[in-house]
Amino acid sequence: MQLQSKVKLELRIDWSEMDLFGHVNNISIMKYVQAARVNYLELIGLMPIPAEIRTGPILASSACQFRKPLFYPGQLTIYSKVADIKSTSFVMQHLIVNHKNETIAEAQDVLVLYDFDKNTKLILPESVKAKIRELEKGD
């Protein structure tokens, strides 16, 4: 995946994220993707949403291709972008690279705006779509 994005999140690898084989566990990689997803949602105004509103984004699907092991100590960077906007959902892509700028993993998320009282999807407001387009502008 060749991902050009202005949105990036830099994280430090913690020793506790290693597994028995001495590299960062795949669950930790997915937590990094979650952190990047929440970071992006904050930038477009979808996080945090007060609990009394009872609507918000939910993760409909997530996939990850692990390309290379990641080791402690170190830093990593996650580049995130919205690749597609639909009426009730949008697709995010994430590229995780190590301190040498080597691709560690590539992930894709589908997020849906959801009404928790009615248990149904909502149409993405034009204001959210506009914020995404503005954030992605120039990429």
Indicate the pTM of the whole model: 0.92
The answer to whether position 1 is within a domain reads: no
Confidence bin at 28 (pLDDT 50/70/90): very high
The pLDDT of residue 3: 66
The pLDDT of residue 50: 74
The pLDDT of residue 4: 67
Confidence bin at 6 (pLDDT 50/70/90): confident
When pLDDT is averaged across residues 83-99 and rounded to a whole number, the result is 97
We report the CATH number of the domain holding residue 59 as: 3.10.129.10
When pLDDT is averaged across residues 70-80 and rounded to a whole number, the result is 95
The answer to whether position 2 is within a domain reads: no
Asked if residue 51 has pLDDT above 60, the reply is yes
The answer to whether position 27 is within a domain reads: yes
Q: Which long-range contacts (CB under 8 A, 24 or more apart) does 124-127 make?
A: 124/85, 124/86, 124/87, 124/88, 124/89, 124/90, 127/45
Q: Which two tokens stand for residue 111?
A: 């997020």
Domain that holds residue 132: 7-136
% residues pLDDT > 90 (the chain): 85
